[in-house]
Structure formats: C-alpha cells, structure tokens
Amino acid sequence: MNRALAVLTVVAYVTLPLGSANYETLVLPTLIVGLVYAAIAIAGFPWVQKRGRALAVGYVCVQLPLGFTLFSLSGAAVGSVLLLVVLISHTVLLLPLPVAFVVALVIPLIHLPMEPLDGLREGLGTLAVMVFAAVVTELVVREQRAREALAEAHERLRDYAAQAEQLATTQERNRLARDIHDGLGHHLTVVQMMLQAARAVIHTADTDKVDGMLAKAQDQSREALAEVRRSVSALREPRAEPLVEALRALTDEASAAGVPTGFEVKGTARDTRAEVEESLFRAAQEGLTNVRKHARAKAANVVLDYAGTDLVRLEIRDDGLGLPEDSATGNGFGLVGLRERVGGLGGRVSVESAEGHGLTLTVEVPG
C-alpha cells in the first residue's frame, strides 16, 4: 500500500507543471512546494506511521496547507489533486476513518476562490474523489488486515494440528502400553502360575495333571502372542464372545492357576458398546492378575452388575493381604492405565482395602 502511494506521489509531482488550461501556473514555486510535499509524503509518512497519533495529526496539519498552496500555485493542476488524494489515503492509514472524512470535506474548500457555480461544481467533484479515495483505502486496509488475520489463524491452526497430532501419538502410545500391560501381562502371569504349579507336582508322578497344566500354559502363551500382535499392529478387533462368557473364562483361568475364583452376574446382561466391554474385561484382567501376583489370596470373586439402568458395575474382591496402611492406593501402572481407559469413557475406578482384610477393585462405566 505504501509503495503504491509513493509511486502515485511521484506521478502526481511529474504532472504538476502541466497546470490547467484555465489558470496560470507558477512553475518554479510549484516544483519547489511540490518537491517538499512529495518528500514529506514519501519519506516522512512511513516514519510517522510508526510513531504515535500526535505526530499523525501533525503530519496531516502540515500536508493539508501545503496541498492547498500547491493547488493554487499549479493553477489547479490535476497533479495537485492527486497529491491531495494521497493525503486522504495517508489520513485513513494514520487516523480513524471519521477523521479522514472530515479532511475529505475540508479539501473541496480549495475551490472557494472560483465563481460560485464553478466552485460548487468543482468542489462536489473533488469531494466525490476524496470520499472515494477514503473508502477505497479503508477497504484495502481491511482486506490487508483480514489477510493478516487469516494468515495468523492459519499459523495457529497449524500449531494446533501439530499439538493434536502429538497428543494423538501420546494417547496411542498410552493405549498400546495399557494393552500390552493388561493383555500380555495377564497371560504371562497365568503362564508363570501354571509353570510354578507344574513344577510343584512334577515329582508326584501325576503326569496327567502336569500335562494339563503345561497345556494350559501353552494356550496362555499362544494367547499372549496373539495379544502382542494385536497391540503392535494397533488393531482393536471387537471381542467375539459376549462379556459374560469372556469373564467366566477369565475366572476359570484364575481358578486353574491356583486361586479359586467365583463369578456372579447381577441383573439382566445387556449389549453395551464395544469399548465399554473391552474396558470391563481389561479391568477384570488387571484385578485378577494383581490377586495372583500380590494378594496371596485363598479365594477371589468377580461380580458383574447390570442392575443400574445406565451403568455397568464390576467388582473384583479377594481375601488376601490387602494394602499396607502406608501404601499409596492404586499407583501401579496397571491401575493408572485402567483409570485412564475407564476415565475416557466417563467412568470411575475405586480401590478399597485394609491391611490383612483383602482388597476390592470397583469399576463403574456408563453403558
């Protein structure tokens, strides 16, 4: 914008000596005053533009009388009118738009020395030109500001997109970590318990019992391998079997691994979202894995409660050691991951425990 106005200033200055067919032109004074006006417009305006409003008002107050003088000296040359157009544009860029319109109303007064009818005709024409220049300049300024705002918004959007991508990557890593912990950790724990039990009875010559335990360990190893493949490929295939059957199989595995585990369903089982069933299944996996690894429990029980109309509740209880009084409840990675998984569905996880009196893990999920 500034460059275009500077070019217009130079063009207007060059046309000043042409004057007007109706008035005499004082060429030398016109060129001198025009040079001062042009120098201030080209060099002074960018400097004033970076300063405060007081200097902007001073700039207009200096250029306006110079423009009037130049109009008179040049014999109403077209160039002098163009220089006043430049002043209007500068005023729009420096000061509020109403001020520019006031200056546009003042400029036609240069025609007062003319005959009344001629002065009125020329004044109205000049007024139209000045108002048009002010409006066009304002539109250009607004369009430029809109472009800048759009570019800034685009830059912010790119930043937000990068942050969203980073967040999605982090969430996916956490999801994979939870899946590996909940799935692979569970299966490996069962394998460990089965092998431990097999070693305990291997000297009893009960080959059928040992073979059964090793077969179960082999099955769990196969399940663990499938779990790793699914987590690494990040494919969350929906669980084929219903949640009730999956939990019953899970409790049977826990019982076979050495901790008798009961299973109870309250209310009428109903279909829920796949992610809800996945979260409840993972919660049961985590709870029973912790029972086998840490609780030293003699028995455990899993309760799946559909009694709530819009809530599914899962409880895993054991009669083991519980948590020490000075222990931070639920700070293990498994429970942290479980809270993240359930919290993402609008549910909650709670742990109740007293040292020596077992532990109860409760998960509630909308569904």
Cα 254 off chain centre by: 44
What φ, ψ does residue 178 adopt, rounded to 5°? -65, -40
Whether 75 contacts 43, CB under 8 Å: no
What Cα–Cα distance (Å) separates residue 247 from each residue in 140, 262, 277? 69, 10, 10
Place of tokens 């519980």: 322
Tens digit of each residue's pLDDT (9 = 90 or more) over 256-302: 878 899 999 998 888 888 888 888 998 898 888 888 877 888 899 99
Nearest CA among 6, 30, 3 for reference residue 86: 6
Tens digit of each residue's pLDDT (9 = 90 or more) over 58-82: 988 998 899 888 888 887 788 888 8
Dist CA 30 CA 7 (whole Å) = 19
Torsion, CA 137, CA 141, CA 147, CA 149, rounded to 10: -160
Nearest CA among 359, 357, 363 for reference residue 340: 363
Tens digit of each residue's pLDDT (9 = 90 or more) over 146-182: 998 998 998 888 888 778 777 766 766 666 666 666 6
Nearest CA among 191, 302, 180 for reference residue 247: 302
Place of tokens 């000045």: 130
Q: Within a 10 A sphere around the Cβ of 48, how many other Cβ atoms?
A: 21
What Cα–Cα distance (Å) separates residue 364 from each residue in 251, 265, 312? 19, 15, 6
Residue 336 has pLDDT above 50, yes or no: yes
Tens digit of each residue's pLDDT (9 = 90 or more) over 201-243: 777 767 777 777 777 777 777 666 666 665 555 444 555 678 9
pLDDT value at position 265?
Answer: 93
Which residues have a Cβ under 8 Å from the Cβ of 75 and sit 6 or more positions away? 19, 20, 22, 23, 24, 25, 26
